[in-house]
Homo-oligomer: A and B are copies of this chain.
Amino acid sequence: MSDPTATQTQIAFLRRLRAVREFLPDPVPAAAIADLLAVARWTGTATNRQHWELVLVEDRETPRTLSGLEGYAAHLAGAPLGIVLVMAGKSAEQETFDEGRLAERIMLAAEAHHLGSCIGWLRGAGQEKAKHLLGIPSERLVRTLLSIGYPDEVARRARPLNPDARKPTEAFVHRERYA
């Protein structure tokens, strides 16, 4: 029943996801997009509310415009595919948590297709402008923009890398009690 190799392959897959901000111009294949959507579709939500929708943007002008809005989405300008997460706008706490789950799943599905991805984040007026630009009703919450595309490894290697930019495990794990 248990297959240690399969388990370790999955764990390695989960561990290796990293943000990619530099993309090649190649389009994201339709089959990969279909898989991203299938994985997104099955992401769990609080009490199975599925309180989100997605807007896929591939027309170059749109990601470029979104990338300049208030927030942190500059990487979207060079991404062949942008995915805009549209949350219902009814329950900030649960929707924000589920938005994080959804973003993580889509990024992992992209990784499975050797596609890089990065989370963009709109703030203040940037959120309202994005809704206006995309025809999204004003009561919705539009905050997360995912950039997706094949990694530009040359541009990526040109950036300085921190080889182990995470706290050691013992710095964040407590057993039975915090203190």
Contact = CB atoms under 8 A, between A and B. Distances in A.
Contacts of A54: 172-174
5 contacts: A7-B112, A17-B42, A56-B173, A97-B99, A100-B103
Copies in the complex: 2
Given A10-B111, A14-B109, A55-B175, 14 more contacts: A7-B35, A7-B113, A9-B9, A10-B108, A11-B109, A14-B39, A14-B42, A15-B42, A50-B167, A53-B174, A55-B176, A56-B176, A96-B97, A100-B103
Interface of A: 1-2, 6-7, 9-11, 13-19, 35, 37-39, 41-44, 46, 48, 50, 52-59, 62, 86, 93, 96-105, 108-109, 111-114, 119, 121, 134-137, 144, 165-167, 169, 172-179
A52 B167 CA distance: 11
Contacts of A104: 43, 100-101, 104-105
A97 to B, nearest CB: 4
A17 B37 contact: no
In order of increasing CB-CB distance, the 3 nearest A-B pairs are A100-B100, A10-B112, A97-B100
